[in-house]
Amino acid sequence: MSKKQVITPHSDAKQKQYEREARLEYGPTNVNESVKRWASYSKARQDEIMAEGGQIYLDLVEAMKQQRLSGPVDVTDILARWHQHIG
């Protein structure tokens, strides 16, 4: 994945499929709350969240390529950012 690539949202049909699968796996309450929260965000905020997630992903890939398993910014630091982001 090059630095120029970004993570893009799924098609509506694919998103609905993922939501159905998630409801079966995790229960409808959690998934419905997540869907409702996402829908409450403005398009600008959704884009910001997607961009942030994409950057975290790119940072993680780069750290793994460089085998940065310890140091000032290592894989575990980036995973902590990712965990906070998806929360």
How high is the pLDDT of residue 67? 77
Domain hosting 48: range is 42-87
Phi, psi of 38 (to 5 degrees): -60, -45
Residue tagged 């940065």 (tokens): 68
Question: Within a domain: residue 52?
Answer: yes
Cα torsion 20, 23, 25, 31: sign: positive
Whether residue 26 is found in the same domain as residue 46:
no
Whether residue 49 is found in the same domain as residue 85:
yes
Query: For 36-85, what is each residue's pLDDT tens digit?
Result: 999 999 999 999 999 999 999 998 888 888 776 666 667 888 899 999 99
Whether residue 60 is found in the same domain as residue 28:
no
Question: Within a domain: residue 1?
Answer: no
In sequence order, which residues have a C-beta less than 8 Å from that of residue 78 and are 6 or more positions away? 56, 59, 60, 63
How high is the pLDDT of residue 68? 65
How high is the pLDDT of residue 1? 44
How high is the pLDDT of residue 23? 95
Whether residue 84 is found in the same domain as residue 49:
yes
How high is the pLDDT of residue 87? 81
Considering the entire predicted model, what is its pTM?
A: 0.72
